[in-house]
Amino acid sequence: MYRDRIHFLFLNIGHFLDHMFTLIFATVAALALIREWGLSYGDLLKYATPGFFAFGVFSLPAGWLADKWSREGMVAVFFVGIGLSSIATAMAQTPLQVGIGLFFIGVFAAIYHPVGLAIVTQRWKNTGMRLAVNGVWGNLGVASAALITGYFIDHGGWRAAFIAPGIFSVVVGALYAVHQWTPIVERHREGAAKVSASGSLTPDHKALLMRISAIVFITTAVSSLIFQSTTFALPKVFDERLQGIAQDVTRWLSATGLPAQGDIATALGAFTFAVFAIASMAQLVVGSLLDRYGPRSVFLVVATIQIVFFALMPGLSGGWALATALGFMLGAFGQIPITDFMIGKLGTGPARARIYAVRYVVAFTVLAASLPLIAFVHATYGFDMLFRVMAVAASVIFVVTACLPARLPAPALA
């Protein structure tokens, strides 16, 4: 139906914005505030950490409210709340004020994953591919954060990188509320009846949930460590290892008559965008394979890709670093829909948002904890050690994933 397609588009835009907002500061810190405020990269990361903890912790109340009130209503709150928080962050005059703004961005960002993914897995068939398409949009948000922010740093200042997306998100939220107004009202009225009408899990389904829950949450935690460490640190990695290429590109563009001389931040943001955008396409392949073969074999292949390319990265710079970064980002992005696919297959409909919420509390708490790890490893050992740690983490995923059953059954309840 046309209305369903528009609804899915709104959810995809939401995933794009969710990841973009949470990573704007990563590029701002690496390419602007280090110089403007005279703080080290590690010192700046401290102010982002509470926002990522909020990104995780507030997933649980967001999922609970969505199941009790309205999933569509919570998505509208997400769009408006995160947009206003971003605009407020742009007004900050001190690092502490930026940290407070990032905290509220994290609070509203926490809404999307447990609520949006619950809608995607409940409303449509071909769950693996739907999650993959939705995931690609989220990853393009990750990529665009570096590209858009790098552009604004060169051509308008870092504050504009928070203001423009914030205004856009508020407008989208208003349009979404209008589009979904009738479903919001109807599902609010029917919520209690849906919960009371829900049954219980079958014994086999419950036993399987108990068997694989530990595997799901271990892989969630370790995968989140890899994803956050790579996506947050990559602008800084490229700042250190691709300066020569960035200078060559800007000189070449200037020689062709384009006003690009000195736009190093834009060039580095473009490299980051290109790697993220290309790597995000791995989710489409993974989504298709999940629907065909199940999560175990797909996860093993993805983990192997990460192990190989993380192990190759230490010591590289220039073109080889760019190519190898693309390799491990293919694995980092490709792993994203796998645990969501398993939860969507095994979780029950009335409580699905809360199940996703628990998953993302684990995921985003690890995301927040990874920021001090990045800061410590970078300051003490450099990024080569971080890549070695990531290779070990990917090896843990491989070993744990080998314990999964070959295939998951269909859910007992829709």
Q: Once rounded to an integer, what is the mean pLDDT over residues 188-199?
A: 47
Q: Once rounded to an integer, what is the mean pLDDT over residues 321-341?
A: 89
What's the confidence (pLDDT) of residue 314? 95
Q: Is the pLDDT of residue 193 over 50?
A: no
Question: What's the longest Cα–Cα distance across the chain?
Answer: 70
Tell me the pTM: 0.69
How high does pLDDT run on average in the chain?
Answer: 82
In CATH terms, 2-191+202-401 corresponds, of 2.40.50.100, 1.10.1040.10, 3.40.50.11740, 1.20.1250.20, to: 1.20.1250.20
What's the confidence (pLDDT) of residue 392? 96
Q: Which has more confidence, 315 or 129?
A: 315
What's the confidence (pLDDT) of residue 27? 78
Could you identify the residue written with the tokens 């220039």?
A: 318
Q: Which has more confidence, 86 or 199?
A: 86
Q: Is the pLDDT of residue 188 over 70?
A: no
What residue type is 301 in one-letter code? V
Q: Is the pLDDT of residue 176 over 90?
A: yes
Express each pLDDT in 249-295 by its tens digit.
Answer: 888 877 776 655 557 777 888 888 889 888 888 888 888 888 788 88
What's the confidence (pLDDT) of residue 17? 95
Maximum average pLDDT range among 116-120, 234-238, 410-414: 234-238
Q: Is the pLDDT of residue 412 over 50?
A: no
Express each pLDDT in 332-349 by its tens digit.
Answer: 988 888 887 877 666 555
Distance CA 267, CA 245 (A): 9
Among candidate residues 104, 167, 138, the one with its CA nearest the CA of residue 20: 138
For the chain, the three-class secondary structure string (H helix, E strand, C coil) is CHHHHHHHHHHHHHHHHHHHHHHHHHHHHHHHHHHHCCCCHHHHHHHHHHHHHHHHHCHHHHHHHHHHCCHHHHHHHHHHHHHHHHHHHHCCCCHHHHHHHHHHHHHHHHHHHHHHHHHHHHHCCCHHHHHHHHHHHHHHHHHHHHHHHHHHHHHCCHHHHHHHHHHHHHHHHHHHHHHCHHHHHHHHHHHHHHHHHCCCCCHHHHHHHHHHHHHHHHHHHHHHHHHHHHHHHHHHHHHHHCHHHHHHHHHHHHHCCCCCCCCHHHHHHHHHHHHHHHHHCHHHHHHHHHHHHCHHHHHHHHHHHHHHHHHHCCCCCHHHHHHHHHHHHHHHHHCHHHHHHHHHHHCCCCCHHHHHHHHHHHHHHHHHHHHHHHHHHHHHCCHHHHHHHHHHHHHHHHHHHCCCCCCCCCCCCC
Q: Is the pLDDT of residue 1 over 70?
A: no
CB 79 within 8 A of CB 14: yes
Q: Once rounded to an integer, what is the mean pLDDT over residues 179-190?
A: 61
Q: Is the pLDDT of residue 389 over 70?
A: yes
Query: Residue 281 burial (CB < 10 Å; 0-12/13-18/19+)?
Result: middle
What's the confidence (pLDDT) of residue 10? 94
By mean pLDDT, which of 89-98, 158-167, 213-222, 362-371 is the weakest? 362-371
Structure tokens at 126: 């071909």
